[in-house]
Amino acid sequence: MTKCAAIQMASSPSISANLLEAEKLIAEAVKAGAKLVALPENFALMGDHEQDKIKVKEVDGLGTIQSFLETTAKKYGVWIVGGTIPIAGDDKNKVRAACLIYNDKGQRVARYDKVHLFDVHVPNTNEVYRESDSIEAGDDSLVIDTPFGRMGVAVCYDLRFPEFFRKMSEQGVDFIVIPSAFTAETGAAHWELLLRARAVENLCYVIAPNQGGFHKNGRRTFGHSMIIDPWGVILDCYKTGSGYVLAEIDHERITKVRAGFPVLTHRRFFCE
């Protein structure tokens, strides 16, 4: 069994302050036994305006935030799922919301670009989001081998598309990491519901680091970062503010649940 952690933050417009907070929480999680630590979406920057991320975008493979992830993973000997950071794309006026994965030697082993972009008017509020104005969408899912099992990665709004997760399931995932910045309104309505559904549907663990608190830009995020087992049991939850959740990935648990409740072998329709 392997202990994994999901970090919760209330990130600000200050990259340096956010990185200091992230390292502090990573160090605490590692001290508690975590071998893999996942950061939330936008962990390094929650700007005053959507366009702020474009001003600080990094070239793939070079930049302050990427150096931080590399150095921190190596320093603490831990795998890091690096939330999302703004990486330059094809359009100079936009970025990719890239989730970079580093192994315990500080080597980058994978990159996932957020596929589904949050273009919504949140019901019963004045909150309007248009991520597509500043972000280029990715075009594929990610599943990789790790020392802890097969890991899938998704980001925030991806959570609402079950077919996206089923595609990962067909590649044999043991756990899925979902860095997020769910709003307070949508989080209260759907966060736990959707996370537990994705875990139950695919009979896998879900590790869900979320932004949680009040942000300088006026936004309020839901928090409640959690880790969920293949039966939909919440193993740990951190409600609001900065902190982390910690739980074990138990492969015997995955095998037992899938053998006793073989939903995945009963499927009759498959993704293309």
Known catalytic residues are: 41, 114, 156
Torsion of CA 133, 240, 142, 132, to 10 degrees: -10
Which residue shows structure tokens 């609001």?
240
- Give the C-alpha separation, 99 to 61, whole Å: 13
Q: At what angle do helices 192-202 and 162-169 cross, to 10 degrees?
A: 30
Q: Does residue 150 contact residue 193 with C-beta atoms inside 8 Å?
A: no
Structure tokens at 61: 């493979």
- Tokens 């936009």 -> residue: 94
Q: Measuring CA to CA, which residue among 168, 183, 169, 87 is closest to residue 135?
A: 87
| Residue type for position 67 | S
Is 60 in contact with 88 (CB distance < 8 Å)? Answer: yes
Is 46 in contact with 266 (CB distance < 8 Å)? Answer: no
Q: What is the DSSP letter of 39?
A: P
Q: Which residues pair with 74 in a beta bridge?
A: none
The token pair at 196 is 């537990």
